[in-house]
Amino acid sequence: MATTKKAEEVFGQFTGKAVEGLTLWADANQKVVRELVDLSASTAKEGVRLYAELQSSAVEALKGGQDFLLRRQAEWQEIQKDPFAWYQKSVLEGIEAAQNAFKILEGNAQAITQSAERLQASTEQAGKEIQQTFASLGSKVKTLYTPSVN
């Protein structure tokens, strides 16, 4: 009878510790999943932000090209009057257009770089949080299964 009670007590302690261990793992998994979901959401948000910036600069470049073509159509009579002045003006506009294109390209490169930096920071933060979660879990599980001195 005494051995049965002792066996039931040991089994109850073992079951209790197993349940506590599973609870610790479930909490840790929940925290990790939350961090991963937050990271995914911030990545998607950053992707949308970058897409909007790149799309905006593409629209700006397209508008510049349309303006250039409209000016060219209006200059047909000027070509016949003074071709050298028209050529000179065209070269200057071409240089200006190239400078604008490089500015847009530089802006796109900066936007991509900033986006990558923000993603890196988010990823590092999520990694640190996950690492802390598992470190905490390890110490809690160790404490849970360390035999107590009676």
Split at pLDDT 50, 70, 90, the class of 149 is low
Residue 130 amino acid letter: I
Contact indicator for 39, 126 with CB cutoff of 8 Å:
yes
> pLDDT tens digits for 85-128?
888 888 898 899 889 989 999 999 999 999 999 999 999 999 99
pLDDT for res 18: 86
Segments making up each domain of the chain, as ranges: 16-143
Place of tokens 């016949």: 80
Rounded Cα distance between 28 and 138, Å, is: 10
Convert the pLDDT of each residue in 11-44 to its tens digit: 788 888 888 889 999 999 999 999 999 999 999 9
Please indicate, yes or no, whether the overall pTM of this predicted structure exceeds 0.85. no
Confidence of residue 1 (pLDDT cuts 50, 70, 90): low
Cβ-Cβ contacts under 8 Å for 53 (sequence gap 6 or more): 107, 108, 111
Query: What string of DSSP letters covers 14-57?
Result: HHHHHHHHHHHHHHHHHHHHHHHHHHHHHHHHHHHHHHHHHHHH
